[in-house]
């Protein structure tokens, strides 16, 4: 694998070793399922009175792990542990913190096959997407370490004020806030837990992590990497349980100095208003939903557009914040685009995502599976036609899990509410427009502004970049129309209802979000 760098853009043609490593890990893991895992508070495993079984969406008979249903008391204990660990961790030289976090990132890389196999079984991601999520996590942590080093710990000597008879020194330093809360979603359970956690920790904050309930197991395996790397007790605390009770208790805790929440718009907005009830304003980084357009001009290379759009519409079963959930095509190429999309989608293999040939696994849980049935019904009633899919998969092993067909919809009027609503499923609507002006107008006419893709001429691409209201934009990319950002290459974050900070993860401006500035003036 010496010359191979795994990213979401390179994952389509991996070396053979990635497959054999993954296969072995799946086999080993399947013999070891169903163990009980605690939460981690102050470095110790903590068990709650109530537990829950973590089932696989591939086959709900598979119980992957037994996890803890944490309570408000556990939220309180985790916060107290993080608070206690803060003075020492924040005064640990940043070089030392960087060293420990690089160790954690390298442990994640060492365990990539075991973690990837568990991810495929718990989330239902295909194998390359699973391995990608794990590698991205390590890369996000490395990137925060690199930023800290490149900026010399964010210690900057300012000008000396011209004081007659005195000598002044003015030093600007960025310092950590204190206890940071990371609440993460099910779909990128590692990258969107480990990325923000890495930044918060390098910056000198201590942490409480609360994963999505659907992915409690795999995030516990990530928390193990931090603990095994030798981060001191209390620096990283990990609690599991329902968002509505345990999660809410964390958000309401007066101990929290800052939050990174990645998840849906509705939960994020509620959290934002609840968090504003504290004694003063505290930082909150929100990374929310998307309704990402892929716009196809009459001058597009339709072969590239087809590959890129199908990958972005149906990768991870459409459950990516960056999924191409709207396709907007100029009239002259509409018919050909639609027939190519159908042909490519019909070739996608649906099945057990741990298997090599599978591109499309199950959706994450029963509620998403039921949503799929309801949305497809609503689309039919609204005048939409199914170019592909439209149904859940049944028969044989499909009946054991939550499998849905990759569904392209045509003829749904642009006025229909589902053109603006994030379904978070393998359902993408395709619409026809007269010209690119109309395409851009429809493209921007949503609350969200996360990613966007374009296929057309170079001059048209300039216009697209200039006018599109989104934080991550791509033109003419076959590796993914709207998906596949990688730290260091495509910093990831959203505008409008898709994000609050205006600074993208895995980019130049991200790490300082986790610190506040102090200016130190000393007169000698």
Positions annotated as catalytic residues are 287, 321
List beta partners, residue 287: 262, 499
Q: Please select the residue that binds ligand NAP; options are 116, 198, 263, 318, rule is CB under 6 A.
A: 263
* By the rule CB under 6 A, 478 interacts with ligand NAP: no
Residue 45's DSSP bridge partners are 40
In whole angstroms, the minimum distance from the beta carbon of 154 to ligand NAP comes to 24
Q: Which of residues 339-378 bind ligand NAP (CB under 6 A)?
A: none
In terms of CB distance, is 242 or 283 closer to ligand NAP? 242
C-alpha–C-alpha distance, residues 70 and 208, integer Å: 13
What DSSP state is assigned to residue 382? T
Q: How many CB atoms lie within 10 A of CB 483?
A: 27
CA 286/CA 268 separation, integer angstroms: 7
| Residues 191-230, mask of contacts with ligand NAP (x by CB under 6 A) | -x-----------------xxxxx----------------
Nearer to ligand NAP, 174 or 199 (CB): 199
Among 422, 468, 476, 481, binds ligand NAP (CB under 6 A): 422
CB of 211 to ligand NAP, least distance (A): 6
Among 244, 367, 435, 521, binds ligand NAP (CB under 6 A): 244
CB 430 within 8 A of CB 309: no
Does 278 sit near ligand NAP (CB under 6 A)?
A: no
Instruction: In whole angstroms, give the CA distance from residue 213 to residue 399.
Output: 23
| C-alpha dihedral sign at 475, 479, 481, 486 | negative
b/e string for 279-317 if b means 16 or more Cβ within 10 A?
Answer: eeeebbbbbbbbbbbbbbbbebebeebbbbbbbbbbbbb
Q: Does 289 contact ligand NAP by CB under 6 A?
A: yes
Tell me: does residue 8 bind ligand NAP (CB under 6 A). no
CB-nearest residue to ligand NAP: 243
Q: Which of 176, 178, 185, 491 binds ligand NAP (CB under 6 A)?
A: 185
- Which residues are registered as beta bridge partners of 155? 173
- The single residue listed with the structure tokens 């930082």 is 283
Candidate residues 119, 201, 267, 327; the one interacting with ligand NAP per rule CB under 6 A: 267
From 317, 407, 498, 504, residue interacting with ligand NAP (rule: CB under 6 A) = 498
In whole angstroms, what is the distance from residue 47 CA to residue 41 CA? 10
Task: Give the integer Cα–Cα distance in Å for 252 and 249.
Answer: 5
Q: Which stretch binds ligand NAP (CB under 6 A): 118-126, 137-145, 168-176, 260-268?
A: 260-268
Secondary structure letter of residue 245 according to DSSP:
I
Q: For binding to ligand NAP (CB under 6 A), which residues are involved?
A: 183-188, 192, 210-214, 242-244, 247-248, 251, 262-264, 267, 271, 287-290, 321, 422, 424, 450, 494, 498-499
């Amino acid at each position: 694998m010496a010359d191979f760098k795994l990213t979401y853009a390179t994952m389509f043609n991996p070396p053979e070793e990635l497959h054999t490593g993954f296969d072995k890990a799946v086999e080993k893991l399947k013999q070891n399922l169903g163990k009980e895992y605690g939460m981690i508070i102050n470095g110790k495993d903590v068990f709650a009175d109530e537990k829950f079984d973590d089932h696989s969406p591939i086959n709900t008979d598979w119980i992957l792990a037994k996890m803890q249903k944490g309570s408000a008391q556990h939220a309180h204990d985790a916060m107290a542990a993080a608070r206690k660990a803060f003075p020492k961790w924040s005064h640990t030289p940043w070089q030392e913190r960087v060293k420990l976090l690089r160790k954690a990132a390298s442990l994640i890389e060492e365990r990539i096959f075991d973690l990837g196999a568990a991810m495929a079984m718990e989330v239902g991601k295909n194998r390359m997407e699973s391995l990608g999520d794990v590698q991205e996590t390590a890369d996000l942590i490395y990137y925060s370490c690199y930023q800290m080093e490149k900026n010399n710990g964010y210690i900057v000597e300012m000008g000396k004020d011209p004081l007659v008879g005195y000598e002044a020194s003015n030093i600007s330093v960025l310092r950590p806030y204190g206890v940071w809360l990371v609440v993460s979603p099910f779909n990128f359970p590692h990258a969107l837990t480990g990325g923000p956690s890495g930044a918060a920790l390098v910056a000198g904050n201590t942490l409480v992590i609360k994963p999505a309930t659907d992915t409690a197991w795999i995030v516990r395996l990530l928390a193990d990497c931090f603990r095994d790397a030798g981060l001191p007790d209390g620096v990283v605390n990990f609690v599991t349980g329902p968002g509505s009770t345990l999660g809410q208790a964390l958000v309401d805790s007066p101990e929290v100095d800052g939050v990174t929440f990645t998840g849906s718009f509705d939960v994020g907005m509620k959290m934002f208003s609840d968090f504003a009830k504290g004694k003063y304003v505290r930082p909150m980084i929100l990374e929310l939903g998307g309704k990402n357009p892929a716009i196809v001009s009459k001058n597009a290379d339709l072969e590239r557009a087809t590959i890129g759009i199908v990958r972005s519409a149906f990768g991870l079963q459409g459950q990516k914040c960056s999924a191409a959930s709207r396709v907007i095509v100029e009239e002259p190429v509409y018919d050909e685009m639609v027939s190519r999309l159908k042909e490519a989608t019909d070739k996608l293999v649906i099945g057990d995502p741990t298997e090599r040939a599978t591109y499309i696994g199950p959706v994450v849980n029963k509620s998403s599976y039921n949503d799929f049935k309801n949305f497809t019904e609503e689309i039919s009633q609204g005048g939409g036609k199914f170019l592909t899919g439209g149904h859940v998969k049944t028969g044989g092993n499909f009946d054991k899990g939550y499998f849905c067909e990759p569904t392209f919809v045509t003829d749904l009027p642009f006025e229909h509410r589902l053109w603006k609503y994030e379904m978070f499923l393998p359902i993408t609507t395709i619409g026809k427009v007269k010209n690119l002006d109309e395409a851009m107008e429809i493209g921007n006419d949503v609350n969200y502004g996360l990613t966007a893709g374009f296929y057309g001429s170079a001059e048209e691409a300039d216009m697209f970049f200039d006018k599109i209201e989104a934080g991550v934009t791509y033109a003419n990319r076959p590796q993914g129309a709207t998906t596949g950002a990688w730290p260091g290459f495509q910093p990831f974050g959203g505008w409008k209802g898709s994000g609050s900070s205006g600074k993208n993860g895995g980019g130049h401006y991200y790490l300082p979000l986790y610190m506040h500035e102090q200016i130190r003036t000393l007169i000698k």
